[in-house]
Amino acid sequence: MLTAYSLLIKALSMNNGFTRCMCQCLAVFIAGLMAISSPAVASNSGAIRKRDANSDGIVDQIAEFDRQGRLVSLTADDNHDGVMDTFQYYVHGEIVRLEKDMDAKPGIDLRTYFKDGRKIRQERLDDQGNIHQEMDLDESGKPFKIREDTNADQKVDTVYHIEKEQISRITRDPDGDGITNVLELYENGTLVERRNDANGDGVLEERFFFHTDGSLARRQLDTDGDGNLDMLEIYRNGLIHLQQWDQDQNKQYEKIAVFEKGDIIRIEEDSDMDGTRETVVRYRNGRPFVQAVDANQDGKEELRIFYDADGQTERIEKDISMNGRMDMFQRYQDNRLVFLEKDTNDNGEIDTKIWYDKGREKNILRDLDHDGRFETTHWYDRQPWTRVTEMDADGSGNVDARSYFMNGILRRRETLGKNGDLVEMLENFNEKGLLMSSLQDSDADGQWDMTWYFDNRGRVQRGERDSDADHRVDTWYYYENERLSEVSEDTNDDGRPDVWEVYDASERMTQRKKDLDFDGVADIEERF
């Protein structure tokens, strides 16, 4: 008994839950033995002996013996409240089970099993008598496996494995289907790794690695559900420092996110999976503010996308010529393109400006001759035309020519006078963009004095001219196969021709006829 007491004192000096549980059981066991060995409970065959250990007039120990005088059971009221709270059971005089009510509520809270006088297992019970913890004990009475029902569904969901009095691993089965979903590994009692298989298919979705101080060091994730851990997170001082993605499982990270004090500052990505991360997104206050792309890996960025405080695109810069210099600039509002500038000939000067309305081109300014002056303007809001183009070729500030388009096809063209307020020539085109008629005001009097007509293939057929500015046609030109074949002229302004000239295939005059009396019949005929 002195040896048992020594063991109890030693055990109490160890400050952990498993040891405290064993101490309680050992104390009960020792008290029972003391009661049995007391002269007051001397053994008789088949007898039941009762004892008042504290002399308060209330029985607080009951011992039962078999016919051979061996102890069968020992019941005790350890706290002397009048209710028996400790129950020991023996077979052939050796203890096999100990039950204890430790919270003064009805029902057993702790159950300990023995073999050959040695503790082999303990059970903890809830108020309903259901087991919520089982503890397997080694030869020295120390736990090496603990099973727990943490959610009170009467199924073991957590198992602790203990080696050398320290946890070596923990397995968790939250849904109680018998398949481990979480595995935790320990070294020297410290958590070093956690593995998660949420769906219980045997394939990990997550792995966690920890520093010796318990803080998270790394985490691996299967982000696309293909069974491969394709993302690695690295932590510093408990804060995330890096996120890395190996998307094609070639042991190279195609995407890296960098953090500073837990806040993201940069993402690098290999979009074309060629082994080089050509895209970089930089962050400010946890929000992206610029994205840069070096597509040809020459160390020079060909694309920059700038974002506003709401994460919407604010402007874009592009190096279209791939010479290391940005030559196109786009501005956005509410994530819609509103303005664009471009250097089309790579001379360092902007020669194209485009305004947009609701994502569609509204008007365009172009410097086609690259002299630093925008002489061409395209309008896209001049109904019913889909585009109207204006040209100031002489740099006067006035429009020299205006072209009208329908669905990209030229349908009308105006040539204006010096002041830009008078149309000197008007050309009309068909739905195929072929010239159908051309009207000219050569004397700038506001009246057409020359009109040309073309067939549906764009070939000239005839021309009509007012040569004396009386607003009446007096000359007619006729063509065959785009060659002049005949010219008719009204010399007396009666509206009828009185001179006729005929031309051959080389446009050489071969015949001339004249109506001298203006009766509509030729009086003179000349041949050449």
**Tens-place pLDDT, residues 250-271:** 878 888 999 999 999 999 988 7
| Per-residue pLDDT at 428 exceeds 50 | yes
Please give the radius of gyration of the chain, using alpha carbons only, rounded to the nearest integer: 52
Q: Report pLDDT for 441.
A: 94
Quickly list DSSP for 93-124: TEEEEEEE--SSSSS--EEEEEETTEEEEEEE
The structure's pTM equals 0.58
Half-sphere exposure of 20 (CA within 13 A, CB side): 4
**pLDDT band, residue 13 (cuts 50/70/90):** very low
Mean pLDDT of the chain: 87
168 part of a folded domain: no
Show the domain range for 91: 1-127
Taking residues 184-197, report their average pLDDT: 94
Contact 342, 335 (CB under 8 A): no
401 part of a folded domain: no
2 part of a folded domain: yes
365 part of a folded domain: no
Taking residues 432-441, report their average pLDDT: 95
| Per-residue pLDDT at 15 exceeds 90 | no
- Please state which of the ranges 72-76, 267-271, 310-314, 520-524 shows the lowest mean pLDDT: 267-271
| Per-residue pLDDT at 25 exceeds 50 | no
Q: Report pLDDT for 297.
A: 80
71 part of a folded domain: yes
41 part of a folded domain: yes
Q: Provide the domain count of the chain.
A: 1
**Tens-place pLDDT, residues 441-491:** 988 888 999 999 999 999 999 999 999 989 899 999 999 999 999 999 999
**pLDDT band, residue 1 (cuts 50/70/90):** very low
**Tens-place pLDDT, residues 27-56:** 444 444 444 434 434 444 579 999 998 899
Q: Report pLDDT for 11.
A: 35
How far apart (Å, rounded) are the C-alpha atoms in residues 377 and 390? 5
| Per-residue pLDDT at 12 exceeds 80 | no
Helix or strand run (H / E) with residue 210:
strand 206-210
Q: Report pLDDT for 138.
A: 93
- Angle among Cα 504, 508, 511 to the nearest 5 degrees reads 70
154 part of a folded domain: no
332 part of a folded domain: no
**Tens-place pLDDT, residues 202-214:** 899 999 999 999 8
